[in-house]
């Protein structure tokens, strides 16, 4: 089957809601359900999702994308609710994981494979159905009168960060994004986890599902969090992507670390979402490196200090050399 490729998600794609449970976690009420929709190939998908809305007036919406091997985690939902966001999270990982409840796994069409497996046809890829599923989750979240319909964001970590980039690109209701790692570039030989795909599939992947290609064309304001030695957020690839963005953006590179972020990075991502989704204060301009490695930082009275880190040579995809 051939297809011209998606231009954007279709809001209102949610067809049916099959309730699973109403529960409470950390003082917040939660709903769990299977969300039923037809993907752009006419196949039925049943995505397992949970939503959590804070008390009080309508809250901005947030789509949370779990990372590789992860699934819905109620602690994540409650944490976002504590921060004032109505959050929805969904299971999109394919495979058997010991900590996943088989009864709460999304049911994708036959033939769809995991995101890091080789595909022989576009209909085998999980990323396009996961992008649509994120929009369906937003449909469900917006059905609550405790959620604002004019302010939605997306966040995710690792493979969830990769997906967050794509959701921000393809979902028209998203106003801001905070992807953590997952900058893309899997078809680039510099990436230590590069894919080996048939050339036709590699071209398709780069064109439709690689943040390095897709995000500069259509992304929303984005705050990217990563670490200098991260195996899934390769610094040269991520900086190349961020430097091509035509929308407001920020980045954090935690020095000499792999697959973790700093408390300051977490605070930066939260401030980004609060600014774009809840009318919070604007963030300072991104620091710039001038002649002689001098750092120019916005609002110097608010800056406690600056340090300069650099890599002396490119080695192993830029890992371990900061």
Reported as a single tens digit per residue, the pLDDT across 275-293 is 999 999 989 888 888 888 7
Beta bridge partners of residue 223, listed in sequence order: 250
Distance in angstroms (rounded) separating the CA atoms of residues 268 and 252: 8
Distance in angstroms (rounded) separating the CA atoms of residues 273 and 49: 22
Does residue 228 contact residue 202 with C-beta atoms inside 8 Å? no
What pLDDT shows up at residue 318? 57
Weakest-pLDDT range from 55-69, 213-227, 253-267, 302-316: 302-316
**Residue 320 pLDDT more than 80?**
no
Q: What is the mean pLDDT of residues 261-286?
A: 94
The total of other beta-carbon atoms located within 10 Å of residue 173's CB is: 20
**Residue 215 pLDDT more than 60?**
yes
Q: How confident is the model at residue 316 (pLDDT cuts 50, 70, 90)?
A: low
SS (H, E, C) 219-265: CCCEEEEEECCCCCCCHHHHHHHHHHCCCCEEEEEECCCCCCCCHHH
- Average pLDDT for the chain: 91
Q: How confident is the model at residue 185 (pLDDT cuts 50, 70, 90)?
A: very high
- pLDDT tens digit sequence for 76-94: 999 999 999 999 999 999 9
Q: What is the mean pLDDT of residues 242-268?
A: 93
Beta bridge partners of residue 117, listed in sequence order: none
Q: Count CA atoms closer than 13 A to 267's CA, side-chain side.
A: 4
94-110 burial, b if ≥16 CB within 10 A, otherwise e? Answer: beeeeebeeebbbebbe
| Nearest partner of 286 among 221, 233, 213, 195, judged by Cα | 221
Percent of the chain with pLDDT over 90: 74
Beta bridge partners of residue 237, listed in sequence order: none
Strand order in the sheet with 222-227: 16-25, 28-38, 44-52, 86-90, 59-65, 147-157, 174-180, 222-227, 249-254
Structure tokens at 58: 């309508």
- pLDDT tens digit sequence for 111-125: 999 998 889 999 999
What pLDDT shows up at residue 222? 97
Q: What is the mean pLDDT of residues 38-55?
A: 96
Weakest-pLDDT range from 148-157, 276-285, 291-300: 291-300
Distance in angstroms (rounded) separating the CA atoms of residues 69 and 274: 28
Distance in angstroms (rounded) separating the CA atoms of residues 14 and 37: 5
What pLDDT shows up at residue 2? 36
What pLDDT shows up at residue 34? 98
Q: How confident is the model at residue 309 (pLDDT cuts 50, 70, 90)?
A: confident
The total of other beta-carbon atoms located within 10 Å of residue 255's CB is: 11
What pLDDT shows up at residue 56? 85
Helix or strand holding residue 214 (H, E):
helix 211-218
Pick the more confident residue, 6 or 2: 6
Looking at the whole model, is its pTM more than 0.85? yes
């Amino acid at each position: 089957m051939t297809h011209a490729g998606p231009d954007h998600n279709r809001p209102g794609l949610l067809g049916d809601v099959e309730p699973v449970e109403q529960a409470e976690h950390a003082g917040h009420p939660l709903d769990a359900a299977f969300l039923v929709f037809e993907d752009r190939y006419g196949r039925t998908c049943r995505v397992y999702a949970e939503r959590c809305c804070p008390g009080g007036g309508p809250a901005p919406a947030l789509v949370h994308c779990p990372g590789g091997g992860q699934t819905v985690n109620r602690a994540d939902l409650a944490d976002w609710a504590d921060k004032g966001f109505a959050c929805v999270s969904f299971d999109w990982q394919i495979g058997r994981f010991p900590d996943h409840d088989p009864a709460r796994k999304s049911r994708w069409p036959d033939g769809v494979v995991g995101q890091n497996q080789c595909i022989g046809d576009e209909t085998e890829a999980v990323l396009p159905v996961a992008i649509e599923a994120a929009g369906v989750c937003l449909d469900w979240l917006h059905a609550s009168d405790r959620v604002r319909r004019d302010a939605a964001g997306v966040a995710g970590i690792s493979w969830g960060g990769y997906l967050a980039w794509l959701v921000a690109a393809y979902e028209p209701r998203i106003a801001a994004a905070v992807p953590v790692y997952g900058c893309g570039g899997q078809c680039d030989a510099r990436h230590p986890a590069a894919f080996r795909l048939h050339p036709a599939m590699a071209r398709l992947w780069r064109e439709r599902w690689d943040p390095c290609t897709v995000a500069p064309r259509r992304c929303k304001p984005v705050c990217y969090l990563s670490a200098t030695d991260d195996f899934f957020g390769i610094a040269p690839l991520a900086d190349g992507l961020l430097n091509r963005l035509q929308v407001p953006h920020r980045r954090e590179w935690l020095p000499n670390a792999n697959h973790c972020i700093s408390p300051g990075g977490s605070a930066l991502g939260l401030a980004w979402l609060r600014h774009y989704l809840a009318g919070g204060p604007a963030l300072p301009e991104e620091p710039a490196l001038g002649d002689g490695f001098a750092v120019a930082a916005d609002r110097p009275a608010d800056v406690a200090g600056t340090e300069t880190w650099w890599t002396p040579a490119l080695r192993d995809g830029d890992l371990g050399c900061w």
